[in-house]
Structure 1
Amino acid sequence: MPRLILLCGLPGSGKTTLAKRLAAEIPAVRLCPDEWMADLGIDLFDEQTRDRLERRFWEHAQDLLGLGRSVILEFGFWARSERDEKRSGARALGVAVELHYLAAPIDELCRRLEARNAEGRPGTVPISRESLAEYATVFQAPDADELGLFDEPPACRRG
């Protein structure tokens, strides 16, 4: 059965690492706006383009789910409303929806971002501690009640 998997977390929380692992294990189609924007030479901070790309990815994800393919959306999902929208949309298609919330303290996120930037990985931009602290003030972390609205991963992937 196809599944929609949402990865939620701030920069440096490990979304891409988890998404790549899950995509190979399940298998699933992984949609990552950062990678696409970088490949197309688009400024990763161009919010208008990011919004358009994420909307198009969501349309594509629904098509893939309808065809029986599992999909991983690596958007960050900083707002509860975004998570609710995707959960409701996928459930309307009869698809299970997982939410993976990746959290880490700001110091750890900064350490990971510094290491990632030092590697010079494509599709990454330097993010300052100040920016990360600002992002943390607008990020709406899912609470236990919200997490309970999502499906558990299959037993073969738990643990």
Structure 2
Amino acid sequence: MTAIPTLHFMCGKMAAGKSTLAAQIAKTQHAVLLVEDDWLSTLYPEEVRSLADYIQYSERLKKTLQPHVEDLLGKGISVVLDFPANTVSQRRWFTSLIAATGVEHCLHYVDKPDEVCKAQLKIRSQNLPAGSPFTTDEAFDAITRFFEPPQSSEGFMIQQYQQE
């Protein structure tokens, strides 16, 4: 019996554990894992210095990868996108992928309190060079103010993970 191809994608605040979960899902589901941070740091290593830069290069990357993701899904291969689905606007891309392919999907919502995310951010940032973007409590607060939890009215199949 062949598994039904599924598009998996992540929602949650910075440092909530989305990337760890994405890697686990890819492994257990034998899916292709595409990680936005890896692509951006390889393709645009010096260009992403602000939130505005991130938005610009993230949109460019999504346009580039969309046909590839659609092709994988069309060939019956499940895909895990470690790209944020943290705002209604960001989730539109995933909606377009689902509409174009007609595949099953799951929005994995990692719901953790700010304090937990900030503690995890400190741990994650320990090995980064001083001054790296998006590593401080201030950066967390600045980005988190845009966060919009997914709503059932958006039409996604949502699996929620809460603080243990």
Q: TM-score, structure 1 length as denominator?
A: 0.80
Pick which of 18-27 and 32-41 moved more. 32-41
1:151 is the counterpart of 2:154? no
SS of equivalent to 1:98: strand
Amino acid at match of 1:130: E
Contact 2:72 2:79 (8 Å CA) reproduced: yes
State the Cα distance separating 1:152 from its structure 2 match. Answer: 6.4
**Corresponding residue for 1:26?**
29
**Corresponding residue for 1:110?**
118
Amino acid at match of 1:31: L
Amino acid at match of 2:7: L
SS of equivalent to 2:145: helix
Provide the rounded CA distance (Å) in 1 between the counterparts of 2:95 and 2:58: 20
Pick which of 45-54 and 60-69 moved more. 45-54
SS of equivalent to 2:7: strand
Contact 2:134 2:140 (8 Å CA) reproduced: no
State the Cα distance separating 1:83 from its structure 2 match. Answer: 1.9
**Unaligned segments of structure 1, at least 5 residues:** 154-159
% identical equivalent positions: 32
**Corresponding residue for 2:144?**
136
Pick which of 89-98 and 57-66 moved more. 89-98
Which one of the candidate residues 73, 84, 87 is aligned to 1:79?
A: 87
Which one of the candidate residues 49, 61, 65 is aligned to 1:57?
A: 65
Provide the rounded CA distance (Å) in 1 between the counterparts of 2:47 and 2:88: 25
State the Cα distance separating 1:132 from its structure 2 match. Answer: 1.1
Provide the rounded CA distance (Å) in 1 between the counterparts of 2:112 and 2:48: 22
Provide the rounded CA distance (Å) in 2 between the counterparts of 1:125 and 1:53: 19
SS of equivalent to 2:126: helix
**Unaligned segments of structure 2, at least 5 residues:** 160-164
Pick which of 49-58 and 10-19 moved more. 49-58
Give the RMSD, CA atoms, in angstroms.
2.3
Q: Which has a greater percent of strand?
A: 2
Q: TM-score, structure 2 length as denominator?
A: 0.78
